[in-house]
Structures are given as C-alpha cells and as structure tokens.
Structure 1
C-alpha cells in the first residue's frame, strides 16, 4: 500500500483479526500514524475533551468549564478521534483548503469504531457548508466523512448564504454568534441524530446545529469529529 500522506510504500500489519476484517483498514504508514495523537484517558463527559491536556482550573468534576458554561444544552454528547496537534492541523488544512478530498479516507475507518460509543441513532447529519464554500472546495468535508459509516445520511441542515468562515472568527465571536443553520424540509421529529464535523473547537457550530434540530422535534443529538481543538 501507499501512505496517503507521505506516499511511501508500506505493508499493512497482518494477523488473523486483519484477515477477517475485525481490525480497521489503515491508509497511513506506521511513521505517519505515530504522528496522530489519539484521544485517550479521562475525558470531559460531555464534549470528549481530554483532561490530560487541560489545566486543573478548566475542569469541574467530570466536565470541562466550556461544557459547564453551555449548561444543559441541546447537544447530548460529542466524541472526537484525535488531539488537534500540528500534524493533524497540517493534514486537515491540505484536505479542506487545498482540495485533497482523498485524505478523508484517513479518518472514516476510525470514525466507524468511534460511533459505536454513541449508537443507536436514526441517521447521520453532516454539518453543511454554505453554497459559496462548497463551490470553492468542490466538496463538503463533513459529508465525505459520513460515507461508509453504514447509516443513512440526511442533509437536514442548510447554511445561510454569505456566512463568515468559522476559522476567521475569534473564540469569543464563535461563542456569541447567532444561529448558523436553517432546517431543511426533512422531518426530524422524535429522531436520534448523529452530527459529523471535522473539528470541535468551542462547540459553537455543533451546539447551533443541535439547537435547530431539537427545536424541530429531534429527540437527542450526538456528534463526532475528527479533531478536538
């Protein structure tokens, strides 16, 4: 196989679990895989923030202070795959902003394992891009992540035209912004929904999406992301 990041050739580790499809397929060579920092250890019960990367003053029992501030919000729980370190930042930048859509394959196998922590749910909703952003990139990175997750994909949310990029906003601007999304014509009444996005930073995007879904009758809303900032 060829590593999707460094393009070197490598032989996947094989054992009886790999042969019978119990372990997930890898698209990174061992050297590049080591540069991804998998989230492990004690976590914020709600957003999945790793406590081993957090100063004690930003934790209150089993929650981080961000989640304490959100209170009993519309998002039930988030889980993320990796810490948003320098290597992952470089990968996501190339994937999103330089149009290398193939890199989404790096994450889908591990996301399939991660969502088992949150099952069952009725369908997956990818966080949408605005029309302008989708046109610029040629794809929606969140939707690419959902492909192959073995759940129905429903585009229940729409992003308004001319909305400002989240990456261009400060932390306080993200937290203070108004509604980011509109509901589509999809009926979400009494549904349990999984949102999928690339990065969880302040939680503003996912909470805004969950709020709209709950206001239109969704029963519960969970989320998964590749990175936890």
Structure 2
C-alpha cells in the first residue's frame, strides 16, 4: 500500500504473485540454491511455476539481472534459472550495475536505493506486458526499480512472479 501512495513509485509494478510464504525453511532452501550454487534446486520449483504461469497474461518473461561481478561469484542467475526450468525462454531485458548485496541492507536502505537497472539497447517494449521473475519479494524495491525503467521504455504493464514473499 505504501508503494501505491508514493507518487515516485505508484503505477510501475501492477502486481506481484508469490508462490510461497518466506519462512525459515525457505530461507535455508533459497540460500542453498542461490548462495551455495545448488542449481538443481531450481527444478524443485518448476511444476509450481509452470502452473502459476498458466494464470498470468504476459508478452515477455524476464528476470532480475545480476551485476557481472555477482554473476561471476554465483555462476548462474537464480531468477533466470527458474524461468528456464519452467520450460520458458527468458528475455534478457535489463542490465544491472554492481551494488552492495541487498541481503546486507535494512528495509529503509532497500527502499531508498539509487536506480541500478537499465533497459538493454534497441529493445522495443512498446505496449508489451512484461512478467519479471525473482526469487524473493522482500520490500518490493528491486522489482519496482526494474519495473520503472521498463515502463519508461514503453511497456504497458509490469507484473512479477516470485518464489517467496
């Protein structure tokens, strides 16, 4: 509700769909997947993601990108892997500049981040419905920053799908 009341951020992210509630089990599971490089765990989510994707209307499905440094550290993008394991072809619409890890920031710091996303050049997003995939919805800041640049590049609607919230 706070995002909708903020003039700077209202209207960029139309809706977030989360599959699971973020609890201690998922915290450990996602940490193992994301930070310890256990890529095969993306398969665990595939059936549920496939089912959820059937209920969402979109033209392009994309993911929250990692900076080159973070991608090198992890070896894969966890959000892109979720899309691929669900049998979809992700559109790499965004690029990200390197910044401090989100998990190390407070809620206030996450909300007041500088813009770290840019739409890749030569993409025509005019009137496209875009679905962004990410692993965890915490404050919504990451998804809203991404949605903002996509809307400013012509997309008509941006929704997101996260594994947990």
TM-score calculated relative to the size of structure 2: 0.92
Q: Residue 179 in 1 paired to residue 103 in 2?
A: no
Question: Which protein shows a greater Rg?
Answer: 1
1:71-124: CA deviation from partner (whole Å, max 9, x where unpaired): 6320111100101000000000000111101101111210111123322x1111
Partner-residue secondary structure (3-state), 1:124: strand
In the alignment, does 2:70 pair up with 1:133?
yes
Structure with greater helix percent: 2
* Number of aligned residue pairs: 162
Q: Runs of 5+ in structure 2 lacking a partner?
A: none
Kept after mapping to 2: 8 A contact 1:123/1:151:
no
State the alpha-carbon separation in 2 of the partners of residues 187 and 175 from structure 1.
28
Corresponding residue for residue 11 of structure 2: 73
Aligned with 1:90 (options 28, 33, 38):
28
Q: Which residue of structure 1 aligns with residue 130 of structure 2?
A: 193
Partner of residue 13, structure 1: none
Instruction: For 2:90 and 2:32, locate their aligned partners in 1 and report how far apart those are by CA, in whole Å.
Output: 25
TM-score normalized with structure 1 length:
0.67
Pairing 1:110–2:39 present? no
User: What is the aligned partner in structure 1 of residue 160 from structure 2?
Assistant: 223
Matches within 5 A, 1:1-229: 65-70=1-6, 72-119=10-57, 121-160=58-97, 162-185=98-121, 186-228=123-165
Return 76-85 or 177-186, whichever deviates more.
Answer: 177-186
Task: Determine which structure has greater relative contact order: mean sequence separation of CA pairs < 8 Å that are 6+ residues apart, divided by chain length.
Answer: 2
Unmatched tracts of structure 1, length 5 or more: 1-64
